[in-house]
Structure 1
């Protein structure tokens, strides 16, 4: 019986040690409440104009940094659904170009894609500022709205657990 209790205590300590305090998962959304997602820290939100290979739109990014990675969700609204679907290609190209990245096969990320007219999943390796980076992203269109859901950072920061928690929690509203 004593060994069973010790084993259970050891397992509990290992589980607690694996839960790094740097990942303080909390529910977040953009100010317009176009989505909800779990972010690993206090989010910041910024809106900037972006060129999506033709249409110029204001994209709002909500992001948090933790453990050597940035977890972010961007959203914007385009003129019509066809423009939104087309914009995903421009977003994919821009993200890959930003890190000089190449996709690592066909990515199948966790989380639901129901209700999107189109989605693109990316898993790419590249570099920026001489620093090796990994990018995991889902780009999606629903009606006139586009979503850019991504994690960018050090390879070690992009664990299966973090990818599952972040992408599995994303829900457009």
Structure 2
């Protein structure tokens, strides 16, 4: 009897581990084209496209992962000069808030190591009839600008995961 129990325990443990699939599978990510690091909650995908930021045409690279209807993303681009990079920060913030018909509940100048300027916001709105939440960190350093956002259904966003993602962002 003890021998059968001894043999069944490893099998039970293996089956239990196979059934475990963590929803949030945090991983360190270093951008190959911009000087930053961050922890993503799932394997991110990256794409680049041309965007208009208040009349400034730039190539913006977005790296993002979605977990349970919540998007975790970092966008970055290069402006012609540092002043326009800071203007891009304001334009990105405005565009994202507008996309979900949101109202900014909280906005503050942020301390960000290595950044020339940074803004943090919390906003709420609606998209497709769903209450949405946006938490963003927007920064400029030299000619480069960054947006670090968590956006999704208000009920799906947790402060723990949002804080972990945004606080893990580091300029290199």
**TM bucket, shorter chain:** 0.7 to 0.9
Structure 1 Cα separation of the partners of residues 115 and 168 of structure 2: 16
Residues paired across the two proteins, number: 152
Larger CA Rg, structure 1 vs 2: 2
In the alignment, structure 2 segments of 5+ residues that lack a partner are: 1-20
Segments of 4+ moved more than 3 angstroms: 106-109
Q: Report the CA distance between 1:74 and its aligned residue.
A: 0.4
Structure-2-length-normalised TM-score: 0.83
Structure 2 Cα separation of the partners of residues 105 and 168 of structure 1: 17
Q: Report the CA distance between 1:161 and its aligned residue.
A: 0.9
Q: Report the CA distance between 1:157 and its aligned residue.
A: 2.6
Structure 1 Cα separation of the partners of residues 164 and 65 of structure 2: 14
Structure 2 Cα separation of the partners of residues 121 and 99 of structure 1: 17
Structure 2 Cα separation of the partners of residues 53 and 159 of structure 1: 32
Structure 2 Cα separation of the partners of residues 113 and 101 of structure 1: 25
Alignment of 1:13-52 (within 5 A): 21-52=22-53
**1:95 corresponding residue in structure 2:** 96
Structure 1 Cα separation of the partners of residues 33 and 166 of structure 2: 20
**1:125 corresponding residue in structure 2:** 124
8 Å Cα contact 1:23/1:67 also seen in 2? no
Give RMSD over aligned pairs: 1.7
Give CA-to-partner distance per residue, 1:97-122, whole Å, 9 cap, x none: 1011011133587xx51221111111
Q: Report the CA distance between 1:170 and its aligned residue.
A: 0.5
Give CA-to-partner distance per residue, 1:25-50, whole Å, 9 cap, x none: 00113331421110110100010111
Q: Report the CA distance between 1:138 and its aligned residue.
A: 0.6
**1:7 corresponding residue in structure 2:** none
Q: The residue matched to 1:157 in structure 2 has which SS?
A: coil
8 Å Cα contact 2:109/2:119 also seen in 1? no
Decide which structure has greater strand share.
Answer: 2
